[in-house]
Amino acid sequence: MGKNNKQRFERETNVSTKINADKVKTKVNGGVFVYTGAISVNELSNSLNVPASEIIKFLFMQKKMVTINTVLDDELIGLVCLQFGYDFQKKHIVAAENFEEVEINDDPSKLKGRPPVVTIMGHVDHGKTTLIDAIRNSNLVAGEVGGISQEIGAYQKEINGHKITFIDTPGHEAFTAMRSRGASVTDIVVLVVAADDGVMPQTIEAIDHAKSAGVPIIVAINKIDKPGADPERVKNELMQHDIVAEDYGGDVICVEISAKKKVNIDGLLETIILVSEMKELKANPDRYALGTVLEAKLDRNEGPKATLLIQNGTLKEGDYLVVGTSYGKARRMTNEFKKVLNVATPSTPVSVIGLAEVPEAGDRFMAFAEESEARAIALKRKQLKEAKEKNKTSAASLDDLYKLANSGDVQTINIIIKADSTGSAEAVKTSLEKLNSDKININVIRATSGAITESDVLLASASKAIVYGFNVRPDARTRAKAEEEKVEIRLHNIIYALIEEIQDAMKGMLKKEKVEKVTGQAEIRKLFKVSKVGTIGGCMVTDGVIKNQSPIRLLREGVVVFEGKLASLQREKDQVKEVKAGFECGLLIDGFNDIKEGDIVEGYEMVEVD
């Protein structure tokens, strides 16, 4: 059926694999000279319709000696364009296999409204799952009851003739995981806050995520049926995080609901429509589909099966798809009711079979008319990915700061601050923000108290931020995650040293002679009080190695409570030089007896780097 359909249903392609883009170098478009790379005086003269001699004369006046064959750089091209009354724009040529970077320029007349894509976030137990269920089961039409399959991971809901797409996985893990892979699928975040509990740590995390993704928030104040419900308190607490409710003069809509008693669910849905209409979400259904994988798995009977969110264009059964680094044919598409669809329009989630491999959530996909195109692009993407993995680059690092500061444009550097108290987190934040200059905008996306956690690393990776720990440390798992995600974690215990380091980095004078390297961690599991000696910690080395000569610090819940050295390190009855992971040991900290079960002893060394 593929061929016939193709004739009846013309769609624009998203990337062209046929034209060698390098050959189409220049174009004058409404007074704007669009070019892609270095061009000669002769070429520029032809494109702008200005005699070459005029260009040569003008450049001569600028003390630039050129001939008709001289290849001009961006600066000179710009100068010439302005002189002869053209604006100019340099276009990046994006190879078809980098389809994530392809800029889709839809003809405005082809754009049609599309449903908003909504993610529900909030603190644990505030009612996200209950709300998702309540929405899923609200306004069900006969035949749909009990029919929504959970496995698809997203579903659409209709209210007053408008559709809304909900991403099923609540919480910010899925949201962050997508963003750290460069995918943004959410148009609106519904932040669930329990009216009897108020703003809690994960509420704040969700706010951070939504803000750093630039996604508008609708607050669903939940559990208003409960006796202790206090919506005004919730609004007041939210205000401390720059979420200002409409009735407090802000622009955030708060909707009071009870997910459990199904109170005002329609009101929430109507608000979502209202906010989405303000955003004027649009897409062009008349192009081949592109979008993101929401979920994927290997189905025993059907093979690789993926839920795709169509973000632009239309996917038709029989289209060839490149997903991540593999390709296939959309053999069968089904919606959340397991109903077979022939076409899926923008913002529709569909479950698709026919792919060669199981993609990953967050992978982007694109549809093609020809199998040969899809195959070639998938192959190139695979090669590219392998090459990239060999030299994965970091999300953001202090080294980059200098380059940013000197790049000319105003640059934003994202920073996450974790400190031993809210007060010091605020103090560090304020001091850092004072460093803002006309070139660098320091943007603190999170400043809270507590240990550095995997959630910080994920947020850092997603928003290309540097993590600063002030008197707090990451545990071994978080450190490993940071290494994997190439997130830079900097640790300090003196504010001015931290500030100085950033200032130096901005000036390009980063001193890197010595950096700290953690050698290992041990967990204190038992205390032995020995008179005249002190309290000996019975430990298990959980990671790396603990050495009797290394400097150590004592961490309690990720916060540094003591720094110093060991007075002794024992295995059984013997004094030893070091103890490796997986072994028990007894240790005594020099000058510190106030150890507790569960404390972590961290050993480190200062190592030279070039």
Which stretches of the chain bind ligand GDP, using CB under 6 A? Answer: 122, 124-130, 170, 222-223, 225-226, 258-261
Rounded CA gap, 409 and 378, in Å? 36
**539 with 523: CB under 8 angstroms?**
yes
| CB contact burial 74-109 (16+ within 10 A = b; e otherwise) | eebbbbbbebbebebeeeeeeebbebeebeeebeee
Rounded distance, CA 158 to CA 174, Å?
24
Give the integer Cα–Cα distance in Å for 64 and 35.
21
Compute the least distance from the CB of residue 191 to ligand GDP, in Å.
Answer: 11
Residue 363 near residue 324, CB atoms below 8 Å: yes
CA distance between the termini of the chain: 63
Do residues 448 and 428 lie in contact, with contact meaning Cβ atoms separated by under 8 Å?
A: no
The one-character DSSP state at 350 is E
- Indicate the residue among 170 and 313 with the shorter CB distance to ligand GDP: 170
Amino acid at 230: D
For 376, the token pair is: 């070639």
Burial of 8 (0-12, 13-18, 19+ CB in 10 A): exposed
Question: How many whole angstroms separate alpha carbon 428 and alpha carbon 439?
Answer: 20
DSSP bridge partners of 307 = 295, 351
The answer to whether residues 131 and 192 touch, using CB atoms and an 8 Å cutoff, is: yes
Tell me how far apart the alpha carbons of residues 590 and 506 are, in angstroms, rounded to a whole number: 39
What is the token pair recorded at 420? 């031993």
Q: Based on CB atoms, which residue is closest to ligand GDP, 128 or 418?
A: 128
Chain position carrying tokens 């002190």: 534
Q: Is the Cβ of residue 231 or residue 474 nearer to ligand GDP in the bound state?
A: 231
Least distance to ligand GDP, CB of residue 122, Å: 6
3-state secondary structure of 173: helix
Q: How many helices (H) and strands (E) does the chain have?
A: 15, 34
Neighbours of 390 (CB within 10 A): 7
Cα dist from 498 to 91, 406, 433, 468, 528, whole Å = 39, 21, 13, 8, 38
Q: Do residues 340 and 367 lie in contact, with contact meaning Cβ atoms separated by under 8 Å?
A: no
Is the Cβ of residue 220 or residue 524 nearer to ligand GDP in the bound state?
A: 220
Q: Where are the beta strands (DSSP E) in 91-149?
A: 112-113, 117-122
- For residue 491, the minimal CB distance to ligand GDP (Å) is 33
Q: Provide, rounded to whole angstroms, the least separation between the CB of residue 306 and ligand GDP.
A: 25
CA–CA separation, 595 vs 599, rounded Å? 7
What token pair was written down for 99? 């389809």
The answer to whether the CB of 328 falls within 8 A of the CB of 354 is yes
Q: Of 55 and 269, which CB lies nearer to ligand GDP in the complex structure?
A: 269
* Residue 194 C-beta: closest distance to ligand GDP, Å: 7
Give bridge partners of residue 310 from the DSSP assignment: 291
Token pair of 344 as six digits: 């899926």
Rounded to an integer, what distance in angstroms lies between the CA atom of residue 419 and that of residue 427? 10
User: What is the distance, to the nearest Å, from the Cα of residue 148 to the centroid of all Cα atoms in its chain?
Assistant: 29
Lookup result for tokens 């130096």? 504
CB of 265 to ligand GDP, least distance (A): 10
CA separation for the pair 17, 426 (Å, rounded): 52
Q: How far is the CB of 134 from ligand GDP (least distance, A)?
A: 8
Cβ-based nearer residue to ligand GDP, 24 or 124 = 124
Q: Where are the beta strands (DSSP E) in 135-222?
A: 154-159, 162-167, 188-194, 217-222
